[in-house]
A and B are shown apart, each in its own frame.
Chain A
């Protein structure tokens, strides 16, 4: 493996990690504040991508599509919260897992009904087309760098909101001790709707940003969702900082694993089976990481809850 491939895969990994972070951020906040497992969070990412792709096609502009997709994703999130999720906060995790699993089945199929089973395509905006030379003789697509930048900006905004505003303070307090925050006169349900809506929008944003480089299809949210769970478990449930570190870790591990492991496997196996086995082992790596973290640090790398 050459240095240029390593660089490209590192950039890919960071960019995947930042997308994962955008999905995981909402998940970890919701989980931290309300102790609510939302398997259907991946649906928000998928809906974001669909809204973005179809609105961009309708308006003829990527930017308008992006701008309109965000409120649409927010509305979809709040609607689901109103219809289903708010009835589950008092229930055990088992009920939450199952009911949100039902929501996944419904929305995945609904998307197929509305947009069809064939993947949609969202064009890259002309402004961000082409590549830049990151190393002599090595081009890297500008759009992927833009995802990285936009994701970092969103992460920065999130950090500002959570760390520097009053609402953010309440969210942090809610993640540490929800009963106490509620006892102090904060309407924790309203706070939660805010968090939930914002989380849904972030996931939707990740979906729109990913739409031009991935195929927009039903069920596209399932795989990132599971990885986002891995991220929040590794990072420590409720911790934004943990989610950020863990998301980049998982993204890098995934991308570099895909590049390195098949090469390693070629030392033992025939090329064709090495490719297949290597790819599978590479996708396993993040789960191995999670199992190891859980086995040795059950509360994650940045535990939030103390009591």
Chain B
């Protein structure tokens, strides 16, 4: 029961936030951003924490999702019933194609090849002259839902993000708890033994990539909607590094840690950037220190003590 306490409190707090002093437009925008990046971080945590696959190109799946919104928007398709499936399928396909190649390597090479695919996606995005190229693309409006413009409402958007984040979280959690997840975790610890008992880790890992890619694509759709703007910088390798940081900051052992990490990251970034223009001077060392000394992450801090 106590295991579930932290994520329950976390989701309850996010649900109550608009009525607990965080209801202003500015705070809601910030929270929405945190939840969206949190969703991307959860999907990355499935890969990194669950399967032990360190991807330095995860931002590309967000980018594919976001650019799917752009392409459909430019062609007049702005309803979620069309946008979401297309974007998610596009991101999943991208993850399938790149994952199929990347998984032939392991360790450092996996990090590097995912970085390379991320860069390819980045340069592809900046080459899309019809969709703004380097300058990015401003959406005409947010994605509609069954003919209504309900997502234009900040509160509705907040709960849409929260609901989808909850779904993504529960899905990843269930996946990790199922036999699929057990094979993934076992292969992370010792791939050789997993093979010895008759499982080939490859299809499991590939499926993990596809799931993570699909969820990444979904958060890309939301990210595009939150800012009503999409730029190649969404796919930059720095963004992938930030996502990894969120996962680690939250703690690798749990999925809700990734959400905590994203919240902490977005709020910290916001607070520091108000403090000083040179906030990265503080942020960088914080990152280094948290890697060196804060191994269990935020979730480890909040976890019930065993024994």
Contacts and interface: CB of A to CB of B under 8 A. Distances in A.
Same complex for A and B? Answer yes
Contact of B126 (A88, A97, A229, A280): A280
Interface in A93-135: 93-95, 97-99, 101-110, 112-113
Given A97-B244, A226-B115, A277-B127, A298 B281 contact: no
A88 B295 CA distance: 13
A230 B124 CA distance: 18
Describe B's contact surface by its main secondary structure. Answer: helix
A284 B119 CA distance: 7
A290 interface: yes
Nearest to A100: B288
A102 B287 contact: yes
Contacts of B54: 93-94, 97
Interface string A237-281: 100000000000000000000000000000000001100110111
B288 A84 contact: yes
B198 interface: no
Interface in B67-118: 101, 104-105, 107-109, 111-113, 115-117
Contact of B245 (A88, A101, A229, A287): A101
Nearest to A102: B287
B280 A284 contact: no
B291 A295 contact: no
B202 interface: no
Contacts of A103: 284, 288
B59 to A, nearest CB: 13
B286 A102 contact: yes
A226 to B, nearest CB: 6
A298 B109 contact: yes
Interface string A215-232: 000000010001001100
A98 B116 contact: no
Contact of B105 (A39, A93, A222, A294): A294
B48 interface: yes
Given A87-B292, A97-B244, A280-B124, A109 B280 contact: yes
A276 B133 contact: yes
A95 B291 contact: yes
A290 B129 contact: no
B130 A98 contact: no
A299 B240 CA distance: 24
A273 B130 contact: yes
Contacts of B120: 284, 287-288, 291
5 contacts: A98-B244, A101-B245, A107-B284, A108-B280, A277-B127
Given A284-B123, A295-B101, 16 more contacts: A93-B111, A94-B244, A95-B291, A98-B287, A101-B287, A104-B284, A105-B287, A106-B283, A106-B288, A109-B280, A110-B281, A222-B238, A229-B115, A280-B124, A287-B123, A295-B104
